Amino acid sequence: MNAPQDTLIEIADLKFSYNSREVLRGLSLTVPRGKVVAILGASGCGKTTLLRLIGGQLRPASGYVKVAGETIHALDNDGLYEMRRKMGMMFQQGGLFTDISTFDNIAFPMRERTNLPEELIHDLVLMKLHSVGLRGADKLMPAELSGGMSRRVSLARAIALDPMLIMYDEPFSGLDPISLNQIGNLIRSLNDALGVTSIVVTYDVAESLKVVDFVYFISDGVVVAQGTPDEVRASTDPFVRQFVDGQADGPVAFHLPSRPFESELGLAAS
């Protein structure tokens, strides 16, 4: 989908298991610089695991993840922490520290990872809050924020260190329609304004197609479909159609594989 020199992330033949449960089975994809890319798939298909492999929290059984030309699992601790400084993360439920203010949540990575004076940190925090429309919420505690406000504060923290890559783990889940639209617009506008690259992991097809440049669908540990939003909307692929149309029946089964129901209940099959 892009020339090698324009690729920020390259993932090839990636395999990973939790004990005996194989999650990724040879997944390959690329993420171009400066674009917003969605990773779509059913719950439990390995989307969050993929983010952890990109961030170096997990190591693959085989294959590799390269970010800006660096193989993540081959980095030593110093190299990994330096790479992580270039990444921002918006966690699935916001992930704010509950016992410190909105201001201090955003200041935290600046204080931990830089030697900036407190006066400059103050101004930078207010700038980040202003970019997400919450400059007036700097003194509020996380418990005083609505769900949508909490996500926006989490987004401001994700861009605190001006990263080259921002990863969003289920940014749309549990939000009302107005907050959904706000978060989607912020993902798009901040990506373009800051010149960063964004990965949006989600199962929300409708919202993601509004803001992303390219989409990958994951199932059974591999990429099963991909394309631009227009290509996805026009696709006749059964897997894509099941997601786009919200169909109950299709390639993604509702029931996990299991023994016959009668045998589970101790009933003899007729």
Strands of 19-164, DSSP E: 21-32, 36-40, 62-67, 70-71, 87-90
- pLDDT at 3 (0 to 100): 45
Give the max Cα distance, the chain. 77
Identify whether the C-beta of residue 252 lies closer than 8 Å to the C-beta of residue 42: yes
SS3 at position 270: coil
pTM given for the model = 0.86
The one-letter code for the residue type at 211 is V
Position 266 scores a pLDDT of 67
Domains and CATH numbers, the chain: 34-58+69-250 (3.40.50.300)
* CA angle (257 as vertex; 252, 263 as ends), nearest 5: 145
Residue burial 190-223, b: 16+ Cβ < 10 Å; e: rest: bbeebebbbbbbbbbbebbbebbbbbbbbbebbb
User: pLDDT value at position 63?
Assistant: 96
* Tens-level pLDDT at each residue, the chain (270 residues): 544 559 999 999 999 999 888 999 999 999 999 999 999 988 778 899 999 999 999 999 999 999 999 999 999 999 999 999 999 999 877 789 999 999 999 999 999 989 999 999 999 999 999 999 999 999 999 999 988 899 899 999 999 999 999 999 988 887 888 888 888 999 999 999 999 999 999 888 888 999 999 999 998 889 999 999 999 999 888 888 888 887 766 666 655 666 776 777 766 555
Closest CA to 15 of 28, 4, 32, 2: 28
Q: Which residues of 52-81 are buried (b: 16+ CB within 10 A; e: fewer)?
A: ebbbbebebeebebbbeeeebeebeeeebe
CB-CB contact of 90 with 165 (8 Å): no
